[in-house]
Structure 1
């Protein structure tokens, strides 16, 4: 696998990429791609977004054994870069299971492996999403990659794929709102008993 060529294809021509992408053949290649994406994302995020430069000043900041002036050092940045692929791969398998079930409910014809594959390649956007102030724009492009990949792999409409991709987020937001309302109600009745 040529990571750079695959990355360019996913970012520049995702529709063509997902149509040519095999939906079977093992997990090694797509997960290797995702692991590289997570590693680079973790390293760049740790170095540039989390205070690496601030961590270099002060006692031990550069070597990770001191917090310096509020940042952290190179060792911590490397640990974050190493942990990101592990956490990322686990999240891919869990996310793929959730999406696979939703796609099946919506009439999708794809496989769990195909779902893991399109999610793995959608991590290409992570090489851009770490950029301060504008990274969130690429996050939206990542959602588009999920919707497009799911549409092609599961042979569903764009609308059904968007529902499958956005439904888990909507449910989490709804659960959080319900929990906040319940917590507020309980707190209110404790503070102002009838």
Structure 2
């Protein structure tokens, strides 16, 4: 696998990439791609955002953040937690796509999610990284549409439904906590 060429293809021509991407053939190559993406993301985040991380945890600007050792530990754990999230996320999306009439396999779902991690090489950039996060959502929607042979609308529903449910759950928990807090004060 040529990581750089694959990365360029995913970022620049995702439709062509996903149409040519085999949906079978094992997990090793796509998971390796994702692990490299997560590792690079973790390293870049740790090296270039140390000041911001330090400020978030109360170390203050100019203190050097939580230290190079801690930053490297964070960078090393990103690939491990990233691969776990890919596998769990693929299971959730696979089920949703099946409910929506998708024809793809779990392996195909893992593959398109792994290659969508290409955006992580750009999403670590402070203040503009969120733009690439939206491009990552597009890659998920496009990959799911092609792998599961569903419409763009169904693919968008499959990708966005878990996000909406998480937001609704967070709001419900916040309302519960706030109402509990205020009821004890009154």
2:123 is equivalent to residue 129 of structure 1: yes
- Name 1:62's counterpart in structure 2: none
The structure 2 residue matched to 1:82, chosen from 64, 76, 82, is 76
Q: 1:74 to 1:189 in 2, by over 3 A?
A: closer
CA distance in structure 2 between the partners assigned to 1:72 and 1:179 by the alignment: 30
Deviation at 1:187, TM superposition (A): 2.6
Deviation at 1:176, TM superposition (A): 1.3
Deviation at 1:182, TM superposition (A): 2.1
- Name 2:162's counterpart in structure 1: 168
SS of alignment partner, residue 167 of structure 2? helix
SS of alignment partner, residue 51 of structure 1? helix
Q: Which deviations, in whole Å up to 9, do the C-alpha atoms of 1:28-78 show, x marking residues without a partner?
A: 0000000000000000000001229x89xxxxxxxxxxxx82513332232
Q: Is the 8 A contact 2:15 2:142 kept in 1?
A: yes
- Name 1:92's counterpart in structure 2: 86
2:173 is equivalent to residue 179 of structure 1: yes
Length, aligned pairs only: 180
CA distance in structure 2 between the partners assigned to 1:188 and 1:41 by the alignment: 41
Which one is further off, 173-182 or 121-130? 173-182
TM-score by length of 2: 0.91
CA distance in structure 1 between the partners assigned to 2:88 and 2:64 by the alignment: 34
Which ranges in structure 1 are unaligned for 5 or more consecutive residues? 56-67
- Name 2:96's counterpart in structure 1: 102
Which one is further off, 6-15 or 177-186? 177-186
Task: Name segments (4+ residues, structure 1) moved above 6 Å.
Answer: none
CA distance in structure 2 between the partners assigned to 1:45 and 1:128 by the alignment: 10
Deviation at 1:191, TM superposition (A): 2.3
TM-score by length of 1: 0.88
2:147 is equivalent to residue 156 of structure 1: no
Q: Which deviations, in whole Å up to 9, do the C-alpha atoms of 1:72-91 show, x marking residues without a partner?
A: 33322322221110010000
SS of alignment partner, residue 26 of structure 1? coil
Which one is further off, 132-141 or 180-189? 180-189
Q: Please give the residue correspondences for 1:1-194 in structure 2 after superposition, counting only pairs within 5 Å.
A: 1-51=1-51, 69=63, 71-192=65-186
Aligned-residue CA RMSD (Å): 1.9
